[in-house]
Amino acid sequence: MRYSVVYDIATEPLFTPSFLWAGLLFVALSFIYLAGTRKVILNSRKENTNKLKKSHALLCLFFSVVFLISSIASDVARRNTLLSSSPEIVEGVVSKFVHGGLSGHSPERFCVENKCFSYSASLHTGGFNTPSVFGGAIHEGVEARIFYIENTIIKIELKK
């Protein structure tokens, strides 16, 4: 029997569109806030309050941009590390499978041979984190070959 690849970090998109949109939304809202404070400053004569509002708007913009750039940079660095490292491989039948619940945010757990894994949709590891409720391929009794670095799953192959 052959194995079929169901997850490979090398073919997955680096960022989800929702992640980028959320970061860009915070930057845009910070710009709007900054523009609004400028209008308030021009129409007001309270100098201390104006400086505080402008400083607060600039601080929001600064942290929004820094957070977005640092998140992207850390994800790129983590992915490059995972792709350049030699993974360990475990092969066998999935056992001790614990479903992550209907929300998908509770950790889902399983073992192959003596190696156990845990992941959830709300925990960003840079590797596989799709619970079965969201279409993840792992479930009790399936024969799998798991490629991993530390506890991060970078590739899953299932026996056809």
Every domain of the chain and the residues it spans: 3-11+87-159, 17-84
- Mean pLDDT of the 22-28 span: 80
pLDDT in tens, 80-103: 877 787 889 999 999 999 987 777
For the chain, give the percent of residues with pLDDT over 70: 86
- pTM, two decimals, is 0.69
- Mean pLDDT of the 32-42 span: 65
**86 close to 99: Cβ distance less than 8 angstroms:** no
pLDDT in tens, 127-151: 888 888 888 889 899 999 999 988 8
Higher pLDDT, 158 or 17: 158
**48 vs 103: CA distance, rounded Å:** 48
pLDDT in tens, 46-83: 555 667 777 877 887 888 888 888 777 877 887 787 77
89: nearest Cα among 140, 12, 154, 4: 154
Binned at pLDDT 50, 70 and 90, residue 104 comes out as low
112: nearest Cα among 136, 86, 146: 146
How high is the pLDDT of residue 46? 59
Q: Strands 143-149 and 88-98: what pairing?
A: antiparallel
How high is the pLDDT of residue 111? 95
